[in-house]
Amino acid sequence: MNKKVKILTALMSLFAAVATISCSSNNNNDNINTDIINAKWIITTPDSDYASFEFTSYGHYIVIENTPAATTESSSAGKLKSSFLQKGVLVAMNTAATASSEQESNLSPIHHGTYTKNGDVITLTGFGVLTIISITAEQFTFSFTLTENGETGEYTANTSAPPISESERTKLMCRAWTVKDITIDEDAMSEDDKEHYFNKYGPAWTDSLIQGGIDKGILNATALFSRAGTYLVLYAKEDSEAGLAEWKWVNSEEKSFYYSWNNWQDNWDDNIVEIIELNKTSLIFIDTKQFDDRYVMIYNLALKE
């Protein structure tokens, strides 16, 4: 009888030990709350190759290299006229040696694509693999391995405070969009301006103005917005230009917003976009500031598939 009790006791001890190991392993994963990854993380590691890592709630990443070319600051930026989808400062050019269907855009110094999470491992499609070491709402420590060459580094970052309100319209806005159509707002033009363009381009003057936007890669361009205030444009051009800017609502009505191509150091109070329609599948807006102030364009965007 005593022998049976001893065997039973030993088995119970073994089960308890296995359960403890199993729970310990699960607790390690549970301690990492990957939900708070959706933010813009500013790298604080000295001499880092990267300035920031940003993850959106709709599954996109934006990584900015730590290089002067990655900023939108420019000594001439204040002198350049730009519109919401037509930047005045060139920000990035495609310098990737290869491209594949698995990566949406791999630019230098801007990297963008989709990501997937598996426990504490985040795969940045077409770019690299990030492993979370520790993360809180304020600080993030991780290792990152480049897909291209296997280089690995460890980084620490602090989150940037979300400047955009967490409202229903913000949730609708903060997604990836594709420009599907461009039209001229003739009702907003004076008869003199219409005559000006008629004399300059002929009867098809509206088509000529729209073609200018097409030539700049605006039609079929991708526009991404985030709660952290990031605004990224991926132009539909062979040379794969990209523009990096910032945005914020004009007021609590959230029917229009400001944008800046120069870290809010330009005359951004004149840069206002008026939203005509915003829903789950469509974004239509009027940009009131163009390279030529004598006309404005209406942009029709659809949710990116």
- Look at the chain and report how many structural domains it folds into: 2
Token digits of residue 202 = 């002929």
Residue 174 within any structural domain of the chain: yes
> CATH number, domain at 219?
2.40.128.280
Tens of pLDDT, residues 157-200: 999 877 798 899 999 999 999 999 999 888 888 899 899 999 99
Q: Tally Cβ neighbours within 10 Å of residue 177.
A: 20
pTM across the whole model: 0.77
Q: Are residues 154 and 217 in the same domain?
A: no
pLDDT for position 68: 66
Measured distance CA(81)–CA(76) in Å, rounded? 10
Judged on CB neighbours under 10 Å (0-12, 13-18, 19+), 243 is buried
pLDDT for position 69: 56
For the chain, the straight-line distance linking the first and the last C-alpha, in angstroms and rounded, comes to: 69
Domain extent, residue 118, equals 34-81+92-159
Tens of pLDDT, residues 57-115: 889 999 999 876 554 443 333 333 456 666 543 344 333 333 333 444 555 688 889 99
Q: Are residues 180 and 290 in the same domain?
A: yes
pLDDT for position 76: 32
Residue 12 within any structural domain of the chain: no
Measured distance CA(250)–CA(230) in Å, rounded? 15
Which residues are CB-neighbours of 199 under 8 A, at least 6 positions away? none
Residue 67 within any structural domain of the chain: yes
Q: Are residues 153 and 52 in the same domain?
A: yes
Nearest 5 degrees, angle CA 66-CA 69-CA 75? Answer: 125
Q: Are residues 175 and 120 in the same domain?
A: no
Residue 227 within any structural domain of the chain: yes
